[in-house]
Amino acid sequence: MTRRARGPLAAALAVYLVALTLRPAQTAVGPVLGDIGADLGLGEGALGLLGTLPLLGFAAVSPLVHRFSARWGAEGTLLAALAGLVLGIVVRSWTGAAGLWLGTAVIGATVAIGNVLVPVIVKRDFPDRIAVATGAYSAVIAGSAAVGAAVAVPLAEVGTWRLSLGVWAVPFAVVVVAWWLRTRVRHDAAAEVAEADLAHASTWRSGTAWLVTGFMGLQATSFYVFVTWLPTIEGSFGVSAHTAGIHLFVYQMVGIAGGLLIPFAMRPDSQVGAAVLATVLIGAGTAGLMVAPDAVLLWIVIAGVGSGASLVMSLSLMSLRGRTPSETTQLSGMAQSIGYLLAAIGPVAAGVLAEATGSWTPTLVLLLAFAAGQLAVGIAVGVDRRAPLRRPA
């Protein structure tokens, strides 16, 4: 293999290694929440907060990542985050009740850094293949998330919930070493600081940035409402808990296919068609659950494909609409901060609405409203209408 071929391959491998670390530490928690509560005497409210804490960490830390990146570069910042993630996993599992909360907060904060910077690195290293590279690393994220959830209970049965959650420190430590080796051959901090001079305006005052944020927030909220409440919604249709659990797994796995396929619907000059397709699939699946619940598996597959496609669309938009690494980092941080804050609130609001009305139909209507909003935003943000960025005189 030539040196020219090894360069892109090494860059892709580095991105995928980081992607492997971004979800298992969270998805492994849900299946063993009961064990954690029984061991530490935590009630359902506290356990619910424990599950939501990483999302709140995403929301709090994401807007700050561009400052870290400007100072230490993307590679250096990610190396520190990966090391912090390993430390957080160890603290969460092995330092008692206080460590459970502290470690979970550290995990949320460090994963937020990876969430924000991976789209930046994809834009930098794969400028001509942003959508395809984004689809691939999103598939890795989704696959590792599913594995994290699938092995949690078997590992807890072998040992305890502490082993189930703590075991992830071992493979992630290997990723830390691999990323450290990458930082030795790449020094990008100065370049990113220099490019920061090209972006004077804050992304928080950019209409395009708010559209990207809206798309991210709406798709993330729909996803987390589905993964939180889909088994309960199916239970109201008479579906058994066992079958509903399988359906939830299917929903997440077909999302991988949606994420891998949606780049082929993106045009270089417009992503409107892809945004519309991804969103219509979510809306069609949601509407199908309302009007023909007997075909629940069909609607879950359709909504799942749309959800995976929408995630890749939102991440691709962060890379495509950011004109420099600095601007892309700020845009990614803004979109993911608000997006995950909405994602943390969405399942709570959906549950309160269902409890107040005694039916899950209003929640499905709410999801349809989210899809309608996402469709409007996707059409608006699908074409970049901003003037080219000019270097200040």
| Helix, coil or strand: residue 267 | strand
> Of 234, 279, 256, which Cα lies nearest the Cα of 374?
279
What pLDDT was estimated at residue 352? 86
Name the fold adopted by 198-386: Growth Hormone; Chain: A; (1.20.1250)
Read off the pLDDT band of 308 (50, 70, 90).
Answer: very high
168 and 89 in contact (C-beta within 8 Å)? yes
Which of 37-51, 110-124, 303-317 is modeled with the greatest confidence? 303-317
Closest listed residue to residue 15, CA positions, set 126, 128, 97: 126
Would 1-197 and 198-386 be classified into the same CATH topology?
yes
Alpha-helical runs (H) found in 95-129: 96-125
CATH 1.20.1250.20 describes domain 1-197: yes
Q: What is the pLDDT of residue 355?
A: 86
Number of Cβ atoms within 10 Å of the Cβ of 333: 27
Beta bridge partners of 339: none
Alpha-carbon distance of 335 to 112, in angstroms, equals: 12
Of the segments 10-14, 18-22, 275-279, which one has the largest average pLDDT value? 275-279
The CB density around residue 124, as the number of other CB atoms within 10 Å, is: 17
Give the residue from 63, 325, 316 showing the smallest Cα distance to 204.
Answer: 63
Look at residue 3 and tell me whether its pLDDT is greater than 60. Answer: no
Spell out the residues 6+ positions from residue 53 whose beta carbon is closer than 8 angstroms to its own. 101, 104, 105, 108
- Which pLDDT belongs to residue 390? 43
Q: What is the mean pLDDT of the chain?
A: 86
Q: Could you tell me how many residues make up the chain?
A: 393
Domain-wise residue ranges, the chain: 1-197, 198-386
In one letter, which amino acid is 3? R
R_g of the chain, CA atoms, integer Å: 20
Contacts of 45 by beta carbon, 8 Å cutoff, 6+ apart? none
- Identify whether the C-beta of residue 284 lies closer than 8 Å to the C-beta of residue 291: no
Q: How confident is the model at residue 327 (pLDDT cuts 50, 70, 90)?
A: confident
Say yes or no to pLDDT of 194 above 70: no
Give the integer Cα–Cα distance in Å for 307 and 205.
28
Strand partners, 270: 267
**Quick check: 33 pLDDT over 70?**
yes
Q: Provide the pLDDT confidence category of residue 214 given band limits of 50, 70 and 90.
A: very high
Helices 325-357 and 361-381: crossing angle in degrees, nearest 10, is 160
Residue 310 C-alpha from the chain's centroid: 11
Tens digit of pLDDT for each residue in 353-369? 988 898 999 999 999 99
Show Cβ contacts of residue 153 under 8 Å, excluding neighbours closer than 6 positions: 31, 32, 164
3-state secondary structure of 76: helix
**Whole-Å CA distances, 205 to 210, 264, 317, 325:** 8, 32, 17, 18
More confident residue, 281 or 384: 281
Model confidence at 27, pLDDT cuts 50, 70, 90, reads confident
pLDDT category, 8, cuts 50, 70, 90?
Answer: low
